[in-house]
Each structure stands twice: as C-alpha cells, then as structure tokens.
Structure 1
Amino acid sequence: MIDQVAPNFQDCIQSLGLAQIQRHVFICADQTVPKCCDKADSLAAWDYLKRRLKELKLDQPTSDRPTCVFRTKANCLRVCQQGPILVVYPDGVWYHSATPEVIERIIQAHLLNNQIVKEYAFLVHPLPTHGTTATD
C-alpha cells in the first residue's frame, strides 16, 4: 500500500515530518456550535498552540531533534465542559481549561519534560502499544 503513494504525496508526507511525529496534540477549537467554551477563547488557544510549537521549533524535525509534535484543530472532542479541551497522543492525556496559560504549562511540562500537568489533566489513557489491545 505504501509503495502505491504518488511522488507528490510523498513530498507532502516528508515536508510535514509525518514519519517523525512523536506526539499529536488535538484541541477543540472553532466549534460549529460552541458548547465547552466561548468560540473566541478556543481560537485564541489554537493560535497560541500553533505559534508556540513553531517558536520552539517543535512543529518540524530538526538536526538536533529528529522528532516533532503535530497539532490538529478539532471541531469538537465531545467533552463539552471546561474547554477548550486538549488531548496529547499517544500519551492519551486529556486536559481541560486549555487557555494559552495552561497550554504553555502543558508545552513546558508535558511536551518538553514528559511531566503531566496534573492540575488540568482529567483522564490519562495511553494508546495501546504495538501488538496489544485495550483489553490486554
């Protein structure tokens, strides 16, 4: 299947650093129907996350750091309370109240130093490791 990918698709994969993703951050922002927080607050959180990952050069692999942090704006993560909601995978750490100030703490503690920000984490459910299932 991978061998069947068109060359321009491969260029896109490489330019985004998809094969080097260490963590993927999803944030509930720009909701069609805002339920967990004000839409403007969610967009401010999204803009802050994008800017800081870029400023810290976490958004692309570098010669010093061969991995990167990918980010995705989700319309709704279905936890419609205390938003914006942010989740970090594969760690499976779900955070509430992800304002720019909280996002900075998540970046510094969790993304850079592997420490969960317990004050805002409301669920820790890592993805299963390769070859295991959630019931193992």
Structure 2
Amino acid sequence: MDNDPFQSLVKKLKIKPGVKHIFLCADQRRAKCCSYEDGMKSWDYLKNRTAELVREEKINVLRTKANCLRFCFKGPIIVIYPDAVWYHSCTPVVIEKILERHIKQGKVVKEYEINLRFLGKK
C-alpha cells in the first residue's frame, strides 16, 4: 500500500509523536448538553486558540469538532487523547484553563474533569 498520501497529510497536519488531540462536542442540530450557540462559541475559541499555540508557541496539539460525544450533560464536553481525560462545562474560559494546564503543563484540570475512576482509570 502506498503511504505517500498519508505522509503528506501527516506533514500538513504537523502530527508528531506526543501530539495531544482535543475533541469538542459542538454543532449539534438538537441541543442536548448545551445550546448550539454555546457549542459553536466554544469551538471558535478552541480553533483560534489552538492555531495560536501551534503557530506561536510550537505546541503539538490538534483539535476536532465532533457533533456529539454521547455524554450529554454539562456541556460542551471535551475529551483529550491519548490521555483519555474528559472535561465538562467547556466554555471559552474553561477551555483556556484546559489549554494552559493540561496541554501546556500536563496537569489535569480537576475542577472540570469528568471522573472516570469507576471505569478503572487511575
């Protein structure tokens, strides 16, 4: 199988080992965990802010808008991979805390973390 198309996409997206990938639920057609407007406001903030971090601070981060993460409570919801850390109430103010603490410093933002210890997560 020819990997060249994948390699050029990896270069274009600037995917490197250790990349953090942020998924944000937004753009849902029927409001469940938050209004459409709140979800899109958070998405616009995340999109612009992560672009700044990549461009100005060379932070290794990707972001994807998901229609629904199926956790329809206290949204917008963010999940960060490969860490598998979930956050609730992700307004632009909360997103900035997540970017500063989790993405830049590697520290979970406990006050907005969705507790997954019942799944065996440490």
Scaled by the length of structure 1, the TM-score of the pair is: 0.77
The number of equivalent residue pairs is 118
Q: How far has the Cα of 1:8 moved from its partner?
A: 4.0
Larger Rg: 1
- 1:13 corresponds to which of 4, 10, 14: 10
> Can you list the C-alpha shifts for 1:71-98, whole angstroms capped at 9, x where unaligned?
1100000011100000111111110000
- 2:43 corresponds to which of 34, 41, 46: 46
Check the 8 A contact 1:29/1:73 in 2, yes or no: yes
Match of 1:84?
Answer: 76
Structure 1 residues not aligned, in runs of 5+: 126-133
Match of 2:111?
Answer: 119
Q: Distance in 1 between matches of 2:80 and 2:55?
A: 14
- 1:72 corresponds to which of 40, 58, 64: 64
Match of 2:101?
Answer: 109
RMSD: 2.3
Structure 2 residues not aligned, in runs of 5+: none
Q: Distance in 2 between matches of 1:27 and 1:35?
A: 14
Match of 1:55?
Answer: 52
Check the 8 A contact 1:58/1:69 in 2, yes or no: no
Q: How far has the Cα of 1:115 moved from its partner?
A: 1.1
Q: Which has the higher helix share?
A: 2
Q: Distance in 2 between matches of 1:83 and 1:94?
A: 11
Check the 8 A contact 1:21/1:70 in 2, yes or no: no
Q: Percent identity?
A: 46
Q: How far has the Cα of 1:57 moved from its partner?
A: 1.8
Q: Distance in 2 between matches of 1:58 and 1:81?
A: 33
Q: 1:22 to 1:58 in 2, by over 3 A?
A: farther
Scaled by the length of structure 2, the TM-score of the pair is: 0.85
User: Could you tell me which amino acid in structure 2 is paired with residue 34 of structure 1?
Assistant: A
